[in-house]
Structure 1
């Protein structure tokens, strides 16, 4: 999947400070900063490739990878059109 632009985007996240792009490239990610139920959130939008869509339709699972040793509070959702 690739992070993609969305009409609500109001920011961009870059690689973390001191990130070694040669070791592991980290591209810019368009984001939308929102407050939901009084809690600040950062939302990014991802578009599956045709191959990923076929795999999902066949029952494949979605993986969420976090860099580091713990899992911050996260959520996955599908944009309802």
Structure 2
């Protein structure tokens, strides 16, 4: 498994000499920009999934409840008048 002071495990190359100076590469502005873009894409996909699930699962139940409670609402409004 050894490969020039590096160990390959689960398809990830890990360097034994990785310290804080080498980790700062991940903090570069370009990498931060890429991370933000990825996060925005993930948020947009999550929003699309949420909206589609709402329209498929929740909205039909709300429409059904509105039809059932509409008659009761009209009766209550007539009582209040």
Computing the radius of gyration over CA atoms, which structure comes out larger, 1 or 2?
2
The structure whose residues are more often strand, as a share, is 1
- The TM-score normalised by the length of structure 1 is 0.17
Q: Which has the higher contact order (CA 8 A, sep 6+)?
A: 1
The structure whose residues are more often helix, as a share, is 2
- The TM-score normalised by the length of structure 2 is 0.17
